[in-house]
Amino acid sequence: MIGGGGGSAGDNSGGGGAGGLIWRHSLNLSASTYAIVVGNGGNGTGAGSQASGGAQGNNSTFGSLLTALGGGFGGDSSQQPSEGGSGGGGGRYGNSGEDGTQTSNATISADSRTYGFGFDGGNGNGGSEGPGGGGGGTGAVGSNASSGTVGNGGVGNSTFVGNATSTTAFLLGTVSGTNSSNSATTGSSSGTLYIGGGGSGGTQNRGSHSGGGSGGLGGGASIGGSSNGNNGMTNTGSGGSSTTSGTGTGGSGGSGLVIVRYS
Protein backbone atom coordinates (compact mmCIF):
# COMPACT_ATOMS: atom_id res chain seq x y z
CA MET A 1 0.00 0.00 0.00
CA ILE A 2 1.09 3.57 -0.62
CA GLY A 3 -0.19 6.97 0.50
CA GLY A 4 -1.20 9.78 -1.83
CA GLY A 5 1.65 11.84 -3.27
CA GLY A 6 2.36 15.42 -2.28
CA GLY A 7 1.59 18.39 -4.50
CA SER A 8 3.90 21.17 -5.65
CA ALA A 9 3.53 24.90 -6.36
CA GLY A 10 4.70 27.50 -8.86
CA ASP A 11 7.52 30.01 -8.28
CA ASN A 12 10.67 27.85 -8.28
CA SER A 13 9.18 25.33 -5.87
CA GLY A 14 10.39 21.93 -4.81
CA GLY A 15 8.73 18.76 -6.02
CA GLY A 16 6.12 16.85 -4.05
CA GLY A 17 7.21 13.76 -2.14
CA ALA A 18 5.80 10.31 -2.78
CA GLY A 19 3.45 8.76 -0.27
CA GLY A 20 4.96 6.28 2.15
CA LEU A 21 5.07 2.67 0.95
CA ILE A 22 4.30 -0.38 3.10
CA TRP A 23 4.93 -4.01 2.13
CA ARG A 24 3.45 -6.34 4.77
CA HIS A 25 3.90 -9.83 3.38
CA SER A 26 1.87 -11.68 5.98
CA LEU A 27 -0.56 -10.50 8.65
CA ASN A 28 -2.85 -12.69 10.76
CA LEU A 29 -6.25 -11.06 11.23
CA SER A 30 -9.20 -11.77 13.47
CA ALA A 31 -12.56 -12.15 11.73
CA SER A 32 -13.90 -8.62 11.51
CA THR A 33 -14.48 -5.69 9.17
CA TYR A 34 -11.46 -3.60 8.22
CA ALA A 35 -12.07 -0.26 6.56
CA ILE A 36 -9.68 0.50 3.69
CA VAL A 37 -8.94 4.07 2.64
CA VAL A 38 -6.94 4.95 -0.47
CA GLY A 39 -5.34 8.35 0.04
CA ASN A 40 -5.84 11.09 -2.53
CA GLY A 41 -2.89 13.04 -3.83
CA GLY A 42 -2.27 16.54 -2.51
CA ASN A 43 -3.43 19.51 -4.56
CA GLY A 44 -1.18 21.55 -6.80
CA THR A 45 -1.30 25.19 -5.67
CA GLY A 46 0.13 28.62 -6.21
CA ALA A 47 3.21 29.65 -4.24
CA GLY A 48 2.61 30.15 -0.54
CA SER A 49 -0.72 28.30 -0.55
CA GLN A 50 0.48 24.74 -0.06
CA ALA A 51 -0.46 24.39 3.61
CA SER A 52 -3.85 26.08 3.26
CA GLY A 53 -4.61 24.62 -0.17
CA GLY A 54 -4.41 20.94 0.68
CA ALA A 55 -1.10 20.15 -0.99
CA GLN A 56 -0.17 17.49 1.58
CA GLY A 57 -0.82 13.96 0.31
CA ASN A 58 -3.46 11.97 2.18
CA ASN A 59 -2.85 8.78 4.12
CA SER A 60 -3.85 5.32 2.92
CA THR A 61 -5.01 3.02 5.73
CA PHE A 62 -5.92 -0.58 6.43
CA GLY A 63 -8.16 -0.37 9.46
CA SER A 64 -6.14 0.89 12.40
CA LEU A 65 -3.35 -1.58 11.67
CA LEU A 66 -1.41 0.03 8.83
CA THR A 67 -0.99 3.65 7.76
CA ALA A 68 0.91 4.69 4.65
CA LEU A 69 1.53 8.40 5.12
CA GLY A 70 0.77 10.94 2.42
CA GLY A 71 3.72 12.62 0.72
CA GLY A 72 5.00 16.02 1.76
CA PHE A 73 4.43 19.09 -0.41
CA GLY A 74 7.17 21.03 -2.16
CA GLY A 75 8.27 24.35 -0.65
CA ASP A 76 8.95 27.75 -2.19
CA SER A 77 10.58 31.02 -1.14
CA SER A 78 7.88 31.75 1.45
CA GLN A 79 6.73 28.25 2.38
CA GLN A 80 8.86 25.50 3.84
CA PRO A 81 8.23 22.03 2.39
CA SER A 82 6.50 19.48 4.59
CA GLU A 83 7.34 16.10 6.00
CA GLY A 84 5.44 13.09 4.77
CA GLY A 85 5.80 9.45 3.87
CA SER A 86 8.49 10.86 1.59
CA GLY A 87 9.49 14.50 2.12
CA GLY A 88 8.82 17.48 -0.11
CA GLY A 89 11.65 19.23 -1.94
CA GLY A 90 12.91 22.66 -0.90
CA GLY A 91 12.24 25.78 -2.97
CA ARG A 92 14.46 28.65 -4.07
CA TYR A 93 16.80 30.58 -1.73
CA GLY A 94 18.19 27.30 -0.47
CA ASN A 95 15.26 25.91 1.49
CA SER A 96 16.13 22.46 2.79
CA GLY A 97 14.14 19.44 1.69
CA GLU A 98 11.97 17.84 4.35
CA ASP A 99 12.16 14.42 5.94
CA GLY A 100 10.50 11.24 4.80
CA THR A 101 8.94 9.93 8.01
CA GLN A 102 7.26 6.65 7.05
CA THR A 103 9.89 4.72 9.03
CA SER A 104 10.02 7.05 12.04
CA ASN A 105 6.63 8.71 12.64
CA ALA A 106 5.58 7.85 16.18
CA THR A 107 1.87 8.46 15.51
CA ILE A 108 1.50 5.40 13.25
CA SER A 109 1.73 1.73 14.20
CA ALA A 110 5.04 -0.03 14.68
CA ASP A 111 4.27 -2.30 11.71
CA SER A 112 3.68 0.76 9.52
CA ARG A 113 7.18 1.96 10.38
CA THR A 114 8.96 -1.40 10.34
CA TYR A 115 7.60 -2.44 6.95
CA GLY A 116 7.62 1.08 5.50
CA PHE A 117 9.69 3.01 2.96
CA GLY A 118 10.06 6.73 2.30
CA PHE A 119 12.94 9.13 1.72
CA ASP A 120 13.80 12.82 2.15
CA GLY A 121 13.25 15.62 -0.34
CA GLY A 122 16.18 17.42 -1.95
CA ASN A 123 17.36 20.93 -1.10
CA GLY A 124 16.53 24.00 -3.15
CA ASN A 125 19.30 26.15 -4.60
CA GLY A 126 20.13 29.48 -2.98
CA GLY A 127 19.24 31.83 -5.83
CA SER A 128 16.32 33.94 -6.99
CA GLU A 129 15.68 31.56 -9.91
CA GLY A 130 15.94 28.47 -7.73
CA PRO A 131 15.92 25.84 -8.92
CA GLY A 132 13.81 23.75 -6.53
CA GLY A 133 14.84 20.39 -5.14
CA GLY A 134 13.23 17.08 -6.05
CA GLY A 135 10.62 15.42 -3.87
CA GLY A 136 11.63 12.26 -2.06
CA GLY A 137 10.72 8.86 -3.49
CA THR A 138 10.01 5.51 -1.89
CA GLY A 139 13.35 4.19 -3.13
CA ALA A 140 15.72 7.17 -2.88
CA VAL A 141 16.06 10.78 -1.76
CA GLY A 142 15.15 13.63 -4.07
CA SER A 143 18.10 15.32 -5.76
CA ASN A 144 19.44 18.62 -4.47
CA ALA A 145 19.10 21.49 -6.92
CA SER A 146 22.13 23.51 -7.96
CA SER A 147 22.84 26.43 -10.28
CA GLY A 148 22.04 25.09 -13.74
CA THR A 149 20.27 21.95 -12.57
CA VAL A 150 16.72 21.40 -11.33
CA GLY A 151 16.35 18.75 -8.64
CA ASN A 152 15.10 15.39 -9.94
CA GLY A 153 12.47 13.50 -8.02
CA GLY A 154 13.66 10.57 -5.94
CA VAL A 155 13.32 7.17 -7.60
CA GLY A 156 10.48 4.89 -6.57
CA ASN A 157 11.05 1.53 -4.94
CA SER A 158 11.95 -1.47 -7.10
CA THR A 159 12.99 -3.98 -4.42
CA PHE A 160 10.36 -3.80 -1.63
CA VAL A 161 9.24 -7.42 -2.06
CA GLY A 162 12.83 -8.52 -1.42
CA ASN A 163 14.64 -7.98 -4.71
CA ALA A 164 14.04 -6.45 -8.12
CA THR A 165 12.88 -9.70 -9.72
CA SER A 166 10.16 -10.46 -7.19
CA THR A 167 9.07 -6.82 -6.95
CA THR A 168 8.75 -6.56 -10.72
CA ALA A 169 6.71 -9.78 -10.78
CA PHE A 170 4.35 -8.35 -8.17
CA LEU A 171 3.94 -4.99 -9.92
CA LEU A 172 3.46 -6.69 -13.28
CA GLY A 173 0.87 -9.09 -11.84
CA THR A 174 -1.10 -6.23 -10.29
CA VAL A 175 -0.45 -3.88 -13.26
CA SER A 176 0.92 -1.24 -10.90
CA GLY A 177 3.73 1.31 -11.01
CA THR A 178 5.86 2.15 -14.04
CA ASN A 179 8.68 0.84 -16.18
CA SER A 180 12.16 2.31 -16.43
CA SER A 181 10.88 4.95 -18.88
CA ASN A 182 8.36 6.11 -16.24
CA SER A 183 5.46 4.88 -18.37
CA ALA A 184 2.55 3.16 -16.65
CA THR A 185 2.88 -0.59 -16.26
CA THR A 186 0.89 -2.72 -18.69
CA GLY A 187 0.47 -6.46 -18.95
CA SER A 188 3.30 -6.53 -21.48
CA SER A 189 5.78 -4.31 -19.63
CA SER A 190 9.36 -5.57 -19.45
CA GLY A 191 12.41 -4.72 -17.40
CA THR A 192 12.49 -3.50 -13.81
CA LEU A 193 9.32 -1.88 -12.48
CA TYR A 194 9.00 0.86 -9.83
CA ILE A 195 6.36 2.59 -7.72
CA GLY A 196 6.28 5.86 -5.75
CA GLY A 197 8.50 8.44 -7.44
CA GLY A 198 9.09 12.00 -6.24
CA GLY A 199 8.17 15.04 -8.33
CA SER A 200 10.67 17.38 -10.00
CA GLY A 201 11.42 20.85 -8.70
CA GLY A 202 10.97 23.95 -10.84
CA THR A 203 12.68 27.15 -11.98
CA GLN A 204 11.60 30.43 -13.57
CA ASN A 205 14.54 30.32 -15.98
CA ARG A 206 14.71 26.94 -17.68
CA GLY A 207 17.20 28.26 -20.20
CA SER A 208 19.82 28.92 -17.53
CA HIS A 209 18.89 25.86 -15.46
CA SER A 210 18.46 23.34 -18.22
CA GLY A 211 19.71 20.26 -16.37
CA GLY A 212 17.58 17.87 -14.35
CA GLY A 213 13.83 18.20 -14.05
CA SER A 214 12.95 14.49 -14.25
CA GLY A 215 10.31 12.84 -12.13
CA GLY A 216 11.38 9.82 -10.14
CA LEU A 217 10.71 6.45 -11.75
CA GLY A 218 7.53 4.95 -10.38
CA GLY A 219 5.24 7.77 -11.49
CA GLY A 220 6.89 11.00 -10.30
CA ALA A 221 6.06 14.06 -12.40
CA SER A 222 8.69 15.75 -14.55
CA ILE A 223 8.97 19.54 -14.59
CA GLY A 224 5.90 21.24 -16.07
CA GLY A 225 5.37 24.27 -18.29
CA SER A 226 5.12 27.97 -17.57
CA SER A 227 1.55 27.83 -16.23
CA ASN A 228 1.18 24.42 -14.61
CA GLY A 229 3.27 21.68 -13.12
CA ASN A 230 2.59 18.05 -13.98
CA ASN A 231 0.64 15.64 -11.81
CA GLY A 232 2.03 12.51 -10.22
CA MET A 233 0.72 9.33 -11.83
CA THR A 234 -2.62 8.03 -10.57
CA ASN A 235 -2.49 5.07 -8.14
CA THR A 236 1.27 5.26 -7.69
CA GLY A 237 1.37 7.72 -4.77
CA SER A 238 3.88 9.82 -6.70
CA GLY A 239 4.68 13.51 -6.27
CA GLY A 240 3.64 16.45 -8.46
CA SER A 241 6.12 18.84 -10.08
CA SER A 242 6.69 22.58 -10.22
CA THR A 243 6.71 24.96 -13.20
CA THR A 244 9.13 26.72 -15.55
CA SER A 245 8.04 30.22 -14.52
CA GLY A 246 7.94 32.40 -11.44
CA THR A 247 4.18 31.99 -11.25
CA GLY A 248 1.63 29.32 -12.08
CA THR A 249 0.22 26.34 -10.24
CA GLY A 250 2.15 23.24 -9.29
CA GLY A 251 1.11 19.71 -10.13
CA SER A 252 -0.98 17.53 -7.84
CA GLY A 253 0.23 14.31 -6.28
CA GLY A 254 -0.93 10.96 -7.59
CA SER A 255 -3.51 8.97 -5.65
CA GLY A 256 -2.34 6.11 -3.49
CA LEU A 257 -3.03 2.39 -3.72
CA VAL A 258 -3.99 -0.48 -1.42
CA ILE A 259 -3.64 -4.08 -2.57
CA VAL A 260 -4.79 -6.96 -0.35
CA ARG A 261 -4.45 -10.67 -1.00
CA TYR A 262 -6.19 -12.96 1.48
CA SER A 263 -6.75 -16.62 2.08
Domain ranges of the chain: 1-11+56-263
pLDDT score recorded for residue 94: 81
pLDDT band at 82; cut points 50, 70, 90: very high
Instruction: Return the pLDDT at 262.
Output: 86
pLDDT of residue 144: 98
pLDDT surpasses 90 at 163: yes
Q: Is the pLDDT of residue 238 over 90?
A: yes
pLDDT at 127 over 90: no
* Predicted confidence (pLDDT) at residue 24 exceeds the cutoff of 90: yes
Mapping DSSP onto H, E and C, the string for the chain reads CECCCCCCECCCCCCCCCCCEECCCCCCCCCCCCCEECCCCCCCECCCCCCCCCCCCCCEEECCCEEECCCCCCCCCCCCCCCECCCCCCCCCCCCCCCECCCCCCCCCHHHHHCEECCCCCCCCCCCCCCCCCCCCCCCCCCCCECCEECCCCCCECCCCCCHHHHHHHHHHCCCCECCCCCECCCCCCCCCEECCCCCCCCCCCCCCCEECCCCCCCCCCCCCCCECCCCCCCCCCCCCCCCCCCCECCCCCCCECCCCCC
Mean of per-residue pLDDT scores for the chain: 97
pLDDT for res 174: 98
> What is the pLDDT at residue 223?
98
Cβ count within 10 A of residue 169: 12
Contact 98, 84 (CB under 8 A): yes
* In the chain, % of residues over pLDDT 90: 95
Please state the separation of Cα 92 from the chain's center in Å. 19
Give mean pLDDT, residues 147-166. 98
Backbone phi and psi for residue 149, each to the nearest 5 degrees, phi listed first? -140, 120
- Res 180: pLDDT: 98
pLDDT tens digits for 129-138? 989 999 999 9
Q: How many CB atoms lie within 10 A of CB 190?
A: 10
Model pLDDT, residue 46 = 96
* Average pLDDT estimate for 35-54: 97
In the predicted model, is pLDDT for residue 246 greater than 90? no
Per-residue pLDDT tens over the stretch 170-207: 999 999 999 999 999 999 999 999 999 999 999 999 99
